[in-house]
Amino acid sequence: MTPATATAAAAASDANMWNGIDAEIRFNDPIGGATWFAAGGCADVLAVPRSFAALSELSRRCAEANVPLRVLGQGANLLVLEEGVDGVVVDLSAPAFTRAPWDATDGTARGDHSAETVRIGAGADLFRLVQDSKRLGRGGLAQMAGIPATLGGAVRMNAGGAYGDIAQSLERIEVVMHGGEMRSIEAADLRLGYRHCELPAGCIVVAAHLRLPHGDPKKIEADVHEIFEYKKRTQPMGAKSAGCMFRNPTDPATGRRESAGKLIDQAGLKGLRFGSAFVSECHGNFLAIDRGGRARDVLELSNQVQQRVLAHSGRRLEREVVVWSRQQVPSFPEERG
């Protein structure tokens, strides 16, 4: 640990730094267990702000103290290594960050959501949003069926699948900048692409404005059902994994995306195991873990898959799953050192 890192860690763990902020502050919180891998280490500090003002102030203090700031969504695309993660991890699960216009405190739907573009908090559960849109006869989110994420997490990586991505419905977002300033950014300025969204460095997505046009509820329900059934047939839905481990690479000859899962299968890697981690027999791009397994095993297995696919087909697979640790983890094992 460098002197600067040690100073930042000490600042983050100092209870006095969080005085006066309307947030729940937890020290040494076991966030690894909250990820979909259900493995890994702790966050030095987990902060659950209760308001936008609290988040803004928290961001400002972290910027002034040079403390790293990360956002924990549902942990569906995240691997936290056993040594844990320094700095502050933010959890946007408070009601201020999860509201949709049809929500009410008693759980019933309000009648004030007629506009086709709606503002929804970044902490909202994407699965629930798909179900709500189906129930309310709102289009625009069927393509996101079966994708585990918060709305903010989906925006941050432009999440999607074979049927489309969140960019199809996104008009603009609201963010808290590194340092606490609130800003609105149009979707056209985010350069949205395949698993790509160009956000300002250090910002936190706090809300998204989505186009959800009114449509035929039966047609929307049928679309959602079709996509769910496709995922159930082709993916190991019950495994402890983070979904697709790698992005689909581009074929340099055609410029088209190739299936990472197919490349892994062609390299004969289905069922490959390292310690408690293994490549799914159902879908090669899913790396899963035994109950009580080690996050480090998943990382090492992903390194082996990258190396062996490169040797077999010449394709470099880039991890889609984010790895959190106390030091930077290279995206490809050859980059170590």
Token match 């959800």: residue?
A: 212
Q: Are 87 and 67 in contact (CB under 8 A)?
A: yes
Give the CATH number of the domain where residue 123 resides: 3.30.465.10
Same domain as 49, residue 8: yes
Assigned domain for 230 exists: no
Same domain as 206, residue 104: yes
Give the CATH number of the domain where residue 24 resides: 3.30.43.10
Same domain as 215, residue 300: no
Same domain as 216, residue 115: yes
Same domain as 110, residue 215: yes
The C-alpha atoms of residue 88 and residue 77 are separated, in whole angstroms, by 18
Has 320 been annotated as catalytic? yes
DSSP state of 150: B
| pLDDT value for 111 | 45
Residues 298, 299, 300, 305, CA torsion sign = positive
| pLDDT value for 329 | 79
| pLDDT value for 161 | 87
Question: pLDDT tens track of the chain, all 337 residues?
Answer: 555 555 656 667 777 889 999 999 999 999 999 999 999 999 999 999 999 999 999 999 999 999 999 999 999 999 999 999 999 999 999 999 999 999 864 444 444 567 799 999 999 999 999 999 999 999 999 999 988 899 999 999 999 988 999 999 999 999 999 999 999 999 999 999 999 999 999 999 999 999 999 999 999 999 999 988 888 787 776 666 778 999 999 988 888 999 999 999 999 999 999 999 999 998 899 999 999 999 999 999 999 999 999 999 999 999 999 999 998 777 777 543 3
The C-alpha atoms of residue 123 and residue 153 are separated, in whole angstroms, by 8
- Of 193, 221, 249, the one marking the end of a domain is 221
Range of the domain at 309: 236-335
The active-site residue out of 42, 62, 203, 244 is: 244
Same domain as 201, residue 302: no
Same domain as 90, residue 105: no
| pLDDT value for 16 | 83
- Of 95, 126, 144, the one marking the end of a domain is 95
Assigned domain for 226 exists: no
Assigned domain for 231 exists: no
Amino acid occupying residue 109: A
Same domain as 159, residue 71: no
Q: Are 74 and 125 in contact (CB under 8 A)?
A: yes
Same domain as 140, residue 102: yes
| pLDDT value for 234 | 75
Q: Count of alpha carbons within 13 Å of 54, Cβ hemisphere only?
A: 19
Assigned domain for 175 exists: yes
Assigned domain for 71 exists: yes
The active-site residue out of 42, 138, 197, 320 is: 320
- Of 221, 248, 275, the one marking the end of a domain is 221
Query: What distance, in Å, lies between the first and last C-alpha atoms of the chain?
Result: 16
The C-alpha atoms of residue 284 and residue 204 are separated, in whole angstroms, by 32
Assigned domain for 227 exists: no
The active-site residue out of 70, 195, 211, 326 is: 195
Has 244 been annotated as catalytic? yes
Same domain as 191, residue 135: yes
At residue 15, the 3 state secondary structure works out as: helix
Assigned domain for 145 exists: yes
Closest CA to 187 of 178, 179, 196: 196
Backbone angles phi, psi at 285, to 5 degrees: -90, 10
Assigned domain for 116 exists: yes
pTM score: 0.89
Same domain as 172, residue 157: yes
164 token code pair: 């489309």
| pLDDT value for 93 | 97
Same domain as 108, residue 85: no
| pLDDT value for 239 | 65
Give the CATH number of the domain where residue 310 resides: 3.90.78.10
DSSP state of 36: T
What's the total number of domains in the chain? Answer: 3
| pLDDT value for 243 | 82
User: For residue 134, what are the contacts with CB-CB under 8 A and spacing of at least 6?
Assistant: 142, 217, 220, 221, 224
The b/e string for 15-42 (b: 16+ C-beta within 10 A; e otherwise) is: eebbeebebebbeebebbebbbbebbbb
The C-alpha atoms of residue 37 and residue 59 are separated, in whole angstroms, by 28
